[in-house]
Amino acid sequence: MMEWLLAPLAYLIGSVCSAIIVCRLMGLPDPREQGSGNPGATNVMRFGGKKAASITLLGDLLKGLAPVYGAKLLGVPMELLAITGLAAFMGHLYPVFFAFKGGKGVATSVGVLLGFSWILGLSVMVTWVLVYKIGKISSLSALVASLLSPFFAWFILGDLNIVGAAAVMMVFLLWRHKTNIQRLLAGEES
């Protein structure tokens, strides 16, 4: 019965905003008030540099990975594992600690997928890197990797709970990147 506390706990872990914490600890401006205003690693890179962005990226990835991996260690059923991952992801997008205004969710979704299966997470990461090497556009890389994640989940795990979780994250990632998509279509995305 205690297993059903996993999703609320995962949401709270996801609600910890790595970008804001890293920027405060490193004496950098609040990422919500700089650059794109997005509290994520890409925006932190713009004004804080590689070190701050790398720490932010790692923090966002771990807050997706840790709850899912913990749930896996407890041997929960796949549907609860999927719900736990989604809760961590939604915590990042809509963090209770930061007025429900979070990041776009790319790194946290990768962390969740790594928690489901390291091969699944690695497949999405390799896709991101390959698309970035070709196009040199971070948002395009994230969008392509996200679009492929439910297909990877199906071929690697074949579990509809995990495929569904990957699909839900994909939809939210597309939604959160709507301005990036508009700029991509207009040829204006940097």
Domain containing 79: what range?
2-186
101 torsion bin: left (phi>0), alpha (psi -120 to 50), beta (else): beta
- Confidence band for 51, pLDDT divided at 50, 70 and 90: very high
Q: What are phi and psi of 149, to 5 degrees?
A: -60, -40
| Cβ pair 103, 184 in contact under 8 A | no
**pLDDT in the model for residue 98:** 85
Q: Which amino acid is residue 165, in one-letter code?
A: A
Answer whether residue 45 shows pLDDT above 60. yes
Per-residue pLDDT at 186 exceeds 90: no
Say how many domains are in the chain: 1
Rounded CA separation 24/30 (Å): 7
Checking if the pLDDT of 124 tops 70, the result is yes
Please choose, from the candidates 147, 129, 151, the residue with its C-alpha nearest in 3D space to the C-alpha of residue 138: 129
pLDDT in tens, 55-96: 999 999 999 999 999 999 999 999 999 999 999 999 999 999
Please give the pLDDT value at position 185.
Answer: 87
Percent of the chain with pLDDT over 70: 99
What's the confidence (pLDDT) of residue 22?
94
pLDDT band at 4 (very low <50, low <70, confident <90, very high): confident
Specify whether the CB–CB gap between 171 and 107 falls below 8 A. no
Task: Look up residue 92 and give its two tokens.
Answer: 């990042």
- What's the pLDDT tens digit per position in 138-148? 889 999 999 99
- Give the tens place of pLDDT for each residue, 21-40: 999 999 999 998 888 888 88
18, 20, 24, 28 alpha-carbon torsion, rounded to 10°: 110
Q: What percent of the chain has pLDDT over 90?
A: 74
Q: What is the pLDDT of residue 42?
A: 86
At residue 152, the pLDDT reads: 98
User: What does the mean pLDDT of the chain come to?
Assistant: 93
pLDDT of residue 1: 52
